[in-house]
Amino acid sequence: MPESVRILGIDPGSRFTGYAVIDVFGADVNVVAYGVLKLPQKKPVSERLKQLDMLLRQLGEEHCPGEVVVEEAFVAVNARSALVLGQVRGVAIVAAGASCPVFEYSARAVKKAVVGYGQADKGQVVQMVKTLLHLPEAPPQDAAEALALVLCHMYSRRFAARLEGAR
């Protein structure tokens, strides 16, 4: 009998954080929810982090994921931006993954899994997510990146299951 799992994907950002929730049952995929959490730009980083923590905990309580996927940090040119992004990732990992396993994938790995090219641009990711999930319209960019994260994780789970079955 195929395993069923609900996956929450988070594309962390200091102003816009994309999220996506999908249910996977065998080969079937159901998009439960997706969107963008908008944080006030004029508030101090500490206030935005608190708000993000609250919003992600609410998402976790509402959707009860079995697994959480967060995009890995990349090395930014601006040290301050990299530091803030690291803090945002930390909040996302702790808030959303409080009661379930957390997985991380690099942006390049996600693009390769979803588009087939690790250096795909954001527009290509948005269109491929729309196509693969049969969405009626293209999702907002940050939400599309979160959807791509959950797709990448789903593909990774399937591959691991096939390897396990081959033993």
Q: Where are the chain's structural domains? A: 4-166
Q: Report whether CATH 3.40.50.11810 matches the domain 4-166.
A: no
CA separation for the pair 76, 152 (Å, rounded): 23
11 is catalytic: yes
Which one from 137, 142, 145, 164 is the annotated catalytic residue? 142
pTM, to two decimals: 0.90
Which one from 47, 53, 61, 71 is the annotated catalytic residue? 71
**Res 64 pLDDT > 60:** yes
DSSP bridge pairs for 18 = 11, 36
**Res 1 pLDDT > 50:** no
Task: Compute CA distances 127 → 49, 79, 87, 133, 146, whole Å.
Answer: 30, 31, 30, 10, 13
**Res 162 pLDDT > 70:** no
CA separation for the pair 33, 20 (Å, rounded): 6
**Res 131 pLDDT > 60:** yes
Coil, strand or helix at 33: strand
Which one from 3, 11, 47, 62 is the annotated catalytic residue? 11
CA separation for the pair 31, 90 (Å, rounded): 25
The two structure tokens encoding residue 1:
């009998």
142 is catalytic: yes
